[in-house]
Structure 1
Amino acid sequence: MENLKAFIESGVLELYVLGDLSPEETLRVKELASQHQEVRDELAAIEYAMEEFAMQNAVQPSEDVEAKLFQKLGINIDEETNSVSDLPLQAEPKIVSLDHSNAKMRSLRYALVACVALLIVSTAALFITYSKLTDAHDQIASLNLDKEKFAGVVSKLEYNNRGLNNLVEMNESKDWATIKMQGQAISPQSKMNVYWNKKNKDVIINYLAMDLPKADAQHEYQLWALVNGKPVSLGVFGKTDSTSRDALLKMQTIQEAQAFAVTLEPMGGSVNPTMEKLTVMGGV
């Protein structure tokens, strides 16, 4: 019964009376009407309401218009009796009943409220999911950063360990010459070791065996080789804190050298050594 009531209030019967249903829908209405008295009563009420509405709002045409219309339709009018012969059945006026509008409006309101509630719940769920994803992304980025830092520390320790092993090998090898440089007048307590390979002419400084005053932000140290009485630059190096650098640092190669020296120079180095900033020096 509930389904039948909903069917009656759906507006399908009004469309049936107006002739606006498809053949399949029309057949279905006829079947239900043959089975249920409520459907037949509703159809009769709709037809009666439409007829009453049409009669109440009918407009009487003028005699001239009426005559021309009947003539166009091929209908003869008896002037004495004012009767019409061969008058075909007129199509029923297509008037849409509004009796079921309240039920439809209620259904639309409920649907709208449900849609708004669903939208609010979905928006809240999306916001919570986005927040969780953002937090997870930040945690992953933090873990990756910690992983990179740890990998860097491990790599540095491995490199320094190799550097220490290389120092042992260099001290035991006859190919490497160890030049021990002593502090000069500006810094008598300073000391530093330079390793020079007699075969491939590589020059390496040892941060672990270095004790130089810490350079400020505007200066850095520069290594020189004394070749036939003339200084030749072998490159610059910065702070002497061994905890922030590798154990060994390769400098420029030199084919011949009678001595090595280090001076404190402006950032980037100098073309000629600043002798008053001579820090350490040692002969080959």
Structure 2
Amino acid sequence: MENKEYIESGILELYVYGLLSETENEEVTTMAKNNPDINAEIIAIEKAIVSLSSSFSPFHSVEIYEKIKAKLELNPTTKVIEMEPTRNWAQYVGWAAAILLLVGIGFQYNKLEQTSNQVVNATTEKIKIEQELNQLELKNKASETSLAIVRDIKNTVVPLGGQDAAPESSAKVYWNKETQVVYIDAAGLPEPPKGMVYQIWSLKLQPQLTPTSIGLLSDFTANEAKIFAVDKTADAEAFAITLEPAGGSLSPTMEQLYTLGKV
């Protein structure tokens, strides 16, 4: 290996730091004795370390280091005791501790994320259950209302039969003549076309036919029970249901008369 490659390999720094094995240490020592460039590089690394150390320990300057080194060189009989290079186990332990800490943090973060996801899922499930309960409650109330209407003996039940526009259609009117409250059971009506709505009419037959609108069956699809409350009426002699444009009409469209029934 050439001197430049040997110097750039980083082995000289490890030699100065005392991190080489005994065999590697002897190899570098031999190379330094036989090669001025390598020896000079070792001296340069030592000086750099001493310079760095002086910034933290001003009592051990480069000058003192050089004086000590000069005395040693002037006394060649001084026996240099080869010390076994020590390894900085504290540094390795520190890195290992840091790695374990990072692994622990990662594990805790993963557990925290899993817990957060579980909380979000539980919250979402809770909201879903609450919505379902609310829907069931609304359905139960609608069912209770429907049963109360059907079972109320004070209600007059008026069957409405299908007409030419929709022969298979049917409906029922539940009319309390005392309170004038009117409910429509529209379960026998088909879904109205888009942009159309069913309109309820209270009819006076004498002395002439006089229709009065008492409401629209809005949200027909959403109303699963198909029981609708409409406006009160006091003196109806018949009821009719027509199909009208959205928003209703001022007078019934007889061509779209779906159901009709006398009181």
Q: Residue 53 of structure 1: CA displacement?
A: 4.3
Q: Residue 159 of structure 1: CA displacement?
A: 3.3
Corresponding residue pairs, total? 192
Q: Residue 184 in 1 paired to residue 189 in 2?
A: no
Q: For residues 165 and 68 of structure 2, what CA distance do their matches in structure 1 show?
A: 124
Corresponding position of 1:204: 183
Q: Percent identity?
A: 22
Q: For residues 87 and 198 of structure 2, what CA distance do their matches in structure 1 show?
A: 90
Match of 1:192, as an amino acid? A
* Alignment check: 8 A CA contact 1:215 1:239 kept: no
Q: Residue 130 of structure 1: CA displacement?
A: 0.8
Q: 1:195 to 1:133 in 2, by over 3 A?
A: same
Corresponding position of 1:283: 262
| Contiguous gaps of at least 5 residues in structure 2 | 1-52, 71-84
- Match among 161, 176, 179 for residue 144 of structure 2: 161
- Match among 114, 117, 125 for residue 97 of structure 2: 114
Q: 1:244 to 1:55 in 2, by over 3 A?
A: same
Match of 1:127, as an amino acid? N
Q: Residue 137 of structure 1: CA displacement?
A: 2.2
Listed as ranges, the matches of 1:78-89 within 5 Å are: none
Q: For residues 192 and 215 of structure 1, what CA distance do their matches in structure 2 show?
A: 14
Q: Residue 108 of structure 1: CA displacement?
A: 5.4
SS of residue in 2 equivalent to 1:281: strand
- Match among 96, 113, 131 for residue 148 of structure 1: 131
- Match among 102, 108, 111 for residue 128 of structure 1: 111
Q: TM-score, normalised by structure 1?
A: 0.54
- Match among 205, 212, 220 for residue 197 of structure 2: 220
Corresponding position of 1:269: 248
Q: For residues 252 and 211 of structure 2, what CA distance do their matches in structure 1 show?
A: 8
Q: For residues 235 and 162 of structure 1, what CA distance do their matches in structure 2 show?
A: 19
Q: Residue 271 of structure 1: CA displacement?
A: 3.0
* Alignment check: 8 A CA contact 2:169 2:190 kept: yes
Q: TM-score, normalised by structure 2?
A: 0.57
Deviation digits for residues 114-165 of structure 1 (CA, Å, limit 9, x no counterpart):
3354124312421232134213421442244134314422441343134213
Q: For residues 103 and 249 of structure 1, what CA distance do their matches in structure 2 show?
A: 94
* Alignment check: 8 A CA contact 2:149 2:174 kept: no
Q: For residues 163 and 138 of structure 2, what CA distance do their matches in structure 1 show?
A: 36
Q: For residues 142 and 205 of structure 1, what CA distance do their matches in structure 2 show?
A: 37
* Alignment check: 8 A CA contact 1:184 1:279 kept: yes
Q: 1:269 to 1:120 in 2, by over 3 A?
A: farther
Q: Residue 231 in 1 paired to residue 211 in 2?
A: yes
Please give the root-mean-square deviation of Cα atoms over the aligned residues, in Å: 3.8
Match of 2:101, as an amino acid? L
Q: 1:114 to 1:271 in 2, by over 3 A?
A: farther
Q: For residues 125 and 272 of structure 1, what CA distance do their matches in structure 2 show?
A: 73
| Contiguous gaps of at least 5 residues in structure 1 | 1-10, 19-45, 58-101
Q: For residues 55 and 135 of structure 1, what CA distance do their matches in structure 2 show?
A: 69
SS of residue in 2 equivalent to 1:163: helix
* Alignment check: 8 A CA contact 1:163 1:247 kept: no
SS of residue in 1 equivalent to 2:190: coil
* Alignment check: 8 A CA contact 2:171 2:259 kept: yes
Match of 1:214, as an amino acid? E
Larger Rg belongs to: 1
